[in-house]
Amino acid sequence: MRGGDLLYSVYWLYNRTGDEFLLDLARKVHRRTAEWEKDVINWHNVNMSQGFGQPATFYMQSKDPNHLLAAERNWRKIRDMYGQVPGGMFGGDENCRPGFTGPRQAVETCGMVEMMLSHEILLTITGDAKWADRCEDVAFNSLPAAFTPDLKALHYLTAPNMILCDRHNKSPGLQNRGPMLLFNPHIHRCCQHNTGHGWPYYAEHLWMATGGNGLAAVLYAPSQVTAKVGDGNKVTITERTRYPFDESIQLTVTTAKPVSFPLYLRVPGWCEKPKLIINGKKAAVKARSGAYILIDRKWMDGDRVSLNLPMKITLTKWTKNKNSVSVNRGPLTYSLKIGEKYVKAGGTDKWPAWEIHPTTPWNYGLVLNEKDPTSSFRVVYKAWPDDDQPFEAIAAPIELRAKAKKIPAWQKDHLGLVGKLQPSPVKSNELTETVTLVPMGCARLRISAFPTIGTGPDAHQWEEPPKSLPATASHCWPGDTVAALSDKLLPKNSNDHSIPRFTWWDHKGTTEWVQYDFEQPRKVSGVSVYWFDDIGSGGCRIPKSWRVLYKDADRWKQVSNTGDYGLEKDKFNNIKFDPVQTSSLRLEVRLQPNFSGGVLEWRIDTVKR
Ligand SMILES: [Zn+2]
């Protein structure tokens, strides 16, 4: 899957030694690597991030244009299917899954840094500035929020819309089970070591060599580059900037003697009218957005180049994700600023783990000026943080002000994930408020794909998701939930892993129970139970036997006049009994010896008065 990374190293060595056997080795590596030239052939987020561009690396040797085109085709297919969200990534937590395509789906921190590196490699191979834009999108909007601002803890998964980062399991809303949103320096295995390469590789790719022995500034960041240029003279260029928070980039040339060489400056795809000043004099710019400005001249010691990249507000409408909208300014996307409360949750004193809880409301839809939506925002500049860490909600050097209304029915679900988006525009009778947006990379809690508020006939009512009945159990596996019993998500079969479930795992062969506790006593005349049975992959089976009990005053009694208690897979097992008036109804099961068990859905028949 990831053989393309080796390919790149083989060419690196070949370019230094010229040993022909390395080209044979490269052919073999390509032959033994999954065939990304044919399609996106695997949907694990890190495999995708490392593999999608592999054919373009081999293109340097094969010269087959299809190899070059495959990288772009793969990139677009991934974004089209799972990346209709802001932040430059896609929903792959841990794999992309059909039906899980909204902005609450997350991606692994490994996936982000590998996607950045793939973009950087494709930029070196093609010179095409779009790969730089795509790299910055991930680097500035997705990666920083995967870490705590002090860079001492990270979490495994980050999503564009994420309103609570606690230790609790979010599966199957997110595919990975366990505390994947907890910022913890001790538990996130691959991401913990893998992400170390994100910023170093980024720094290595800021500057590149060009034809004509020149230099190209392809990604912008404070930096210094020393290179042999022109006729072999050594020059140093110092770059001063607070990009992407600032539009201005200042370059100063240091050279022992005058030297002619071409200097290329990337114009980002979002920038329409770059401005250039050389040694205090305005210079004409012919380059379009997404291309390079070429300055070919004789450079003197102390020459100064000032590049200004005006940043405009733009909106992206995600028609495939319920017409939600994200707000961009230059390379940055903006998120709702949500109060973040850090709660220590394990780790050590020196290397603590953190939950992050919201302290302010997050369920807003944007109120946009219909005639000119981008005019709905006001830019507010703030002081640069003393510690040089701008990627923090309370330290963001730029904020936007916007108008918004609350959508009261938009709540977190029983897993603690932000409720799924519903179609925009949305009706709201709430007051219009002024809200603050901060760069997405600054926000550990965030809404980055917003519903919009509408007043016309096309505005939708936000439907409150069905509430689960209060339930308790003799035991529930921490990765599962009693809320699954009545979540109205119906299984395809008893071995369906795509919906939430309740299990008694890892209790085996015991007598167990699960019960509903009604807010008001109900008259109940039957139940339907859909058993969980993961034969082939796990240790849960249909129970050995079961019965229904109800609470009469303080005593549990068995219901009477039932038919057979069904023990069938892949369907609801229905039984009727003499109606009982009760405040609690219980399923009691005897598990099969050496096996556990579980329930995917449990319905009750209530007798209407
Ligand atoms: Zn990882």
What does each C-alpha distance from 482 to 153, 385, 469, 545, 569 come to in angstroms? 31, 45, 9, 20, 20
- 3-class DSSP state of 500: coil
Cα 55 to averaged position of ligand 1 atoms, centre (Å): 23
Cα separation, 194 vs 189, whole angstroms: 9
48-52 CB contacts, 8 Å cutoff, 24+ apart: 48/74, 48/78, 48/90, 48/92, 48/96, 48/111, 49/110, 49/111, 49/112, 49/114, 49/115, 49/118, 50/1, 50/2, 50/4, 50/5, 50/114, 50/117, 50/118, 51/1, 51/2, 51/4, 52/78, 52/118
pLDDT at 478: 75
Cα 195 to averaged position of ligand 1 atoms, centre (Å): 8
Cα 281 to averaged position of ligand 1 atoms, centre (Å): 49
Read off the tokens for 596.
């556990």
For 228, residues 6+ apart whose C-beta sits below 8 A from its C-beta are 213, 234
What does each C-alpha distance from 211 to 121, 127, 287, 294 come to in angstroms? 17, 11, 18, 12
Amino acid at 192: Q
Cα 46 to averaged position of ligand 1 atoms, centre (Å): 8
Cα separation, 28 vs 585, whole angstroms: 64
Residue with the two structure tokens 């399609």: 39
Cα separation, 402 vs 447, whole angstroms: 13
- What does residue 347 show for φ and ψ, rounded to 5 degrees? 75, -160
Cα 78 to averaged position of ligand 1 atoms, centre (Å): 19
Cα separation, 130 vs 72, whole angstroms: 10
375-378 CB contacts, 8 Å cutoff, 24+ apart: 376/402, 376/403, 377/313, 377/327, 377/401, 377/402, 377/437, 378/402
Count the Cβ atoms, other than its own, within 10 Å of residue 232: 8
Cα 191 to averaged position of ligand 1 atoms, centre (Å): 3
For 329, residues 6+ apart whose C-beta sits below 8 A from its C-beta are 311, 312, 313, 314, 379, 398, 400
Read off the tokens for 102.
């909204």
pLDDT at 189: 87
Count the Cβ atoms, other than its own, within 10 Å of residue 351: 11
Strand partners, 333: 328
Cα 155 to averaged position of ligand 1 atoms, centre (Å): 9
Cα 532 to averaged position of ligand 1 atoms, centre (Å): 30
For 576, residues 6+ apart whose C-beta sits below 8 A from its C-beta are 525, 526, 562, 563, 605
Count the Cβ atoms, other than its own, within 10 Å of residue 412: 15
Cα 475 to averaged position of ligand 1 atoms, centre (Å): 31
For 208, residues 6+ apart whose C-beta sits below 8 A from its C-beta are 123, 124, 215, 216, 218
Cα 203 to averaged position of ligand 1 atoms, centre (Å): 21
> Which residue stretches of 195-251 are H helix?
198-204
Cα 99 to averaged position of ligand 1 atoms, centre (Å): 23
User: What string of DSSP letters covers 88-156?
Assistant: S---BSSB--TT--STT--EEHHHHHHHHHHHHHHHHHH--THHHHHHHIIIIIISGGGB-TTSS-B-S
Read off the tokens for 251.
């370059």
DSSP secondary structure letter of residue 561: S
| Torsion 169-172-175-177 (CA) sign | positive
Q: Whole-angstrom distance between the N-terminal and C-terminal Cα of the chain?
A: 62
Q: Is this structure's pTM higher than 0.85?
A: yes
Cα 112 to averaged position of ligand 1 atoms, centre (Å): 9
Read off the tokens for 585.
């109804």
pLDDT at 609: 64
Torsion angle in degrees (nearest 10) through CA of 205, 207, 210, 216: 130
Cα separation, 57 vs 33, whole angstroms: 12
| Torsion 332-336-337-338 (CA) sign | negative
Amino acid at 187: I
Query: Do 484 and 600 form a contact (C-beta atoms < 8 A)?
Result: yes
Cα 497 to averaged position of ligand 1 atoms, centre (Å): 22
Cα 553 to averaged position of ligand 1 atoms, centre (Å): 52
pLDDT digits (tens, 9 = 90+) for 313-334: 999 999 999 999 999 999 999 9
For 112, residues 6+ apart whose C-beta sits below 8 A from its C-beta are 49, 89, 138, 142, 143, 146, 158, 195, 198
pLDDT at 414: 83
Cα 108 to averaged position of ligand 1 atoms, centre (Å): 5
DSSP secondary structure letter of residue 424: S
Query: Do 379 and 438 form a contact (C-beta atoms < 8 A)?
Result: no
Cα 92 to averaged position of ligand 1 atoms, centre (Å): 11
Query: Do 76 and 53 form a contact (C-beta atoms < 8 A)?
Result: no
Radius of gyration of the chain (CA): 29
> Which residue stretches of 179-248 are H helix?
189-194, 198-204
Positions in the chain whose pLDDT score sits under 50 = none
Cα separation, 335 vs 303, whole angstroms: 39
Residue with the two structure tokens 């943080």: 385
Cα 438 to averaged position of ligand 1 atoms, centre (Å): 26
Cα 156 to averaged position of ligand 1 atoms, centre (Å): 6
pLDDT at 306: 98
